[in-house]
A and B are shown apart, each in its own frame.
Chain A
Amino acid sequence: MKSADMRISYLISRSSRYVFTIGWIALVTALFVVLRDELDTTLIALLYLIPLGLISAYWGMGPGVGGALLTFLTFNYFFIRPYYTLAVHRLTDMVILAIFLVVAVAISRLVGRLQASLLAATAREREVTQLYALSSALSASQDENEIVEILANQIQEISHAGRLEIDLAGSNSFSLPLSSANLTERPPELAIPMQTARGLLGEIRLWKTTPSIRPEEQRLLETLASQAALALERARLRQTESRAKILEESDQLKSILLSSVSHELRTPLSTIKAAASSLRGHAVSWDSPASAELISAIDDEADHLNILVGNLLDMSRIESGALKPKREWNILSEIVASVLTRMRYVSDEHTLEVDLPENLPFVPVDYVQMEQVFTNLLSNSLKYAPIHTNIQIQARAEGQAICIRVSNQGPQVPPEHLERIFDKFYRVTAADRVTGTGLGLSICKGIVEAHGGRIWAENIPDGFAFVFTLPRLLDGAPPPQLPMDPEVE
């Protein structure tokens, strides 16, 4: 229904130009008839050229040439003697008439063509502007969905389609229903393939409400489609490239990991094997102190192996982005206490000072992961700090964050290493002098960053400190209030 209405109005606007041309000429002719006795025939012919020029300029070549022919007739009929006939008796009149016809048609055509080329130039300019807008919008975008959305909006601006669908091969389709009318029941007016040298990337389908798609409009849409196809291809290539790069890096990482890990795993395994086989082979008697020593070595080394394997798992989880903290409101002192309880057996040689303010607010953290951070930072400190020195854990609320420091009186780290000690397998000292996978600190970094915090290391006057921050809000919200507690029963 709607499209039929529009078609009619379009026809009216076209034919009305001719009606107006006729009316305009009739008006001018009437004026000239009144003034016929005052004006010379030649002058009238010249005066007739003015309305004709205007008609061509405003309404184009068709009405212009039509008007010229009509004027030729009216001029002959009303102003060439004998009046009110189309007969011509005098040779001069015949010449005037002939010249008038030639000039009128020529002017109309010239002015009309000028008008048409002006319109074409304006249209070209608009097209160029639109293309420019699209390509500059696309060049900034690397995301497929974003590209499709930009394209859809641009097409809509040009074509005023009733419905628009962009279908990407091997991906989801994007549709933009623009009018309430259900247009998908009929086939689309226009389907433009999105083609690149590497193949078909998708298709754009248009349902129009206006009668037809003009050839220049179609050409512009095709240009837009190929621009967008190029941008899509570029985005995909970039993705493939970065994926290839990641793969290459992870390959490299894997080989470092394997060499570091096999060394680390073999050490406790050797101990276990040696101890177990000597107990089994009765090399030491079961009730001697040596056997107790061996048994506890087996137990300790098994724990050590377990920690190593755990670190590897954590690291691979961080690497693959699978480490999602389950953030809940926790009390820092509870986490630290449970870490210290567990680590007591290793910390006998150092003095641990815990300074967590009583009024320290809740922190939104994953309990288990935060334990891991403290465990790793503490065991790193224990490993490097000389025995009988202090290790301190401090926490302070600072604005929107909580700042936690784990400091020790161990040797300082040269400034150029401070940043890199959180890298995987990075060691300040030679690998054979300390044990561990070289993963502990990078796991800390992964966990703290997954919580939205930051971690760094710094040299302090009498030693070395790890510092990390954690946000105090959980999804933008402060800790909840507790319900009222009935007093003593």
Chain B
Amino acid sequence: MSAEPHILVIDDEPQIQRAIRTILTERGFKVTTASKGEDGMTFAAANPPDLIILDLGLPDMDGIEVCARLREWTQTPIIILSARDGERDKVAALDRGADDYLTKPFGIEELLARVRVALRHSANRAGTQPNKMIRAGDLTIDLAWHLIKRGETEIKLTGTEYKLLAYLASNHGRVLTHQNILVNIWGPADADHTEYLRVYMRQLRKKLEIDPERPKYILTEPGIGYRFIAD
């Protein structure tokens, strides 16, 4: 990665392009914009960016398809932008390889946080050793030793609970769709059993969260999935 991360924004609305470009340039990113899916894919191939911000509602083609076609040849993180009620589209794009999503209208802090998480995960994938020790508030999750602690006290988890937490924590900051989690923890046959997640997330929150009714670590992304928040 160069000193100045390169971000490609594919969005057909000039106002959004302008806002994102202004803010990201101000924060030290190099920004390229494209207003059509085809153009975006061409730019991405000609000058590979470090991150792609992709609007799902493009004039020339379906954003989900752009996402799938980019994934055929690149692992560059993709953050999708979509309208409030596009849960189905968001899930489809995430399951087709997008890394994260933002719902319009979004706050700039939210956008920057997503960009940071996506860049970090792509750096991990690129070979740097992934972090085996994850901290969230007073929680420590030691993936090497399968050890969860609050302060100095160990928290006992069942096998499934541990697998679930380890998966969430090693992807901390990223949204994981229901299907993604179910397939990774229970296997493809159970991909539709959202109720497993509901039960296990409740159990995990009871053991991990200080106030399980107002969780701070395991966040629900309504209609999409879950996100683990670490420090």
Contacts from A to B (Cβ < 8 Å): 299, 302, 306, 310, 313, 317, 326, 328-331, 333-334, 336-338, 340-341, 344, 354, 362, 366-368, 371, 479-480, 482-483, 485-489
The complex places the Cα of A113 from the Cα of B108 at a distance, in Å, of 100
Interface residues of B in 98-148 (CB under 8 A from A): 105, 107, 146
Cβ–Cβ < 8 Å partners of A334 in chain B: 198, 201-202, 220
B68 located at the interface, meaning its Cβ lies under 8 Å from any Cβ of chain A in the complex? no
Looking at A302, A330, A367, which has the most chain B CB atoms within 10 Å of its CB? A367
Interface range on chain B (Cβ under 8 Å from partner): 20 to 34
A223 to B220, alpha carbons, bound, how many Å?
Answer: 66
With an 8 A cutoff between CB atoms, is B85 at the interface?
Answer: yes
**Cβ contacts under 8 Å, B161 to chain A:** 485
Contact B215 A341 (CB under 8 A): yes
Measured CA separation A337–B159 after assembly (Å): 26
Q: Does B231 contact A (CB under 8 A)?
A: no
Which of the segments B9-17, B24-32, B189-197 contacts the partner chain? B189-197
**Could you say which residues of chain B place their CB within 8 Å of the CB of A310?**
84-85
Assess whether B43 is interfacial by the CB under 8 Å rule. Answer: no
**Chain B contacts for A340, CB-based, 8 A:** 213-214
Q: How far is the CA of A317 from the CA of B213 in the complex (A)?
A: 31
In the complex, what residue of chain A is closest to B162 when comparing beta carbons?
A489
Q: Which of A337, A341, A371, A488 contacts B157 (CB 8 A)?
A: A488
Nearest-CB residue, chain B, relative to A302: B105
Provide the bound-state CA to CA distance between A334 and B225, in Å. 13
Tell which of B158, B190, B202, B222 touches A333, judged by Cβ atoms closer than 8 Å. Answer: B202
Q: Which of B174-211 contact A (CB under 8 A)?
A: 186, 190, 193-196, 198-199, 201-202
Task: Check A328–B194 contact: CB distance below 8 A.
Answer: yes
Q: How far is the CB of A356 from chain B (nearest CB, A)?
A: 9
Would A337 and B105 count as touching, CB distance under 8 A?
no
Asked if residues A489 and B159 are in contact (CB atoms below 8 Å), the reply is yes
B164 CB to closest chain A CB (Å) equals 10
Q: Provide the bound-state CA to CA distance between A107 and B107, in Å.
A: 107
Task: Report Cα–Cα, A341/B158, bound state, in Å.
Answer: 27
B87 at the interface (CB under 8 A from A): yes
Whether B84 lies near A331 (C-beta < 8 A) is no
Are B158 and A313 in touch, CB under 8 angstroms? no
Q: Is B160 engaged at the interface, CB distance under 8 Å to the other chain?
A: yes
Listed A/B pairs (22) with beta-carbon separation below 8 Å = A302-B105, A306-B105, A310-B85, A328-B194, A328-B195, A330-B198, A331-B198, A334-B201, A334-B202, A337-B212, A338-B220, A338-B222, A341-B214, A354-B213, A368-B223, A371-B222, A483-B190, A483-B196, A485-B159, A485-B160, A486-B159, A489-B146
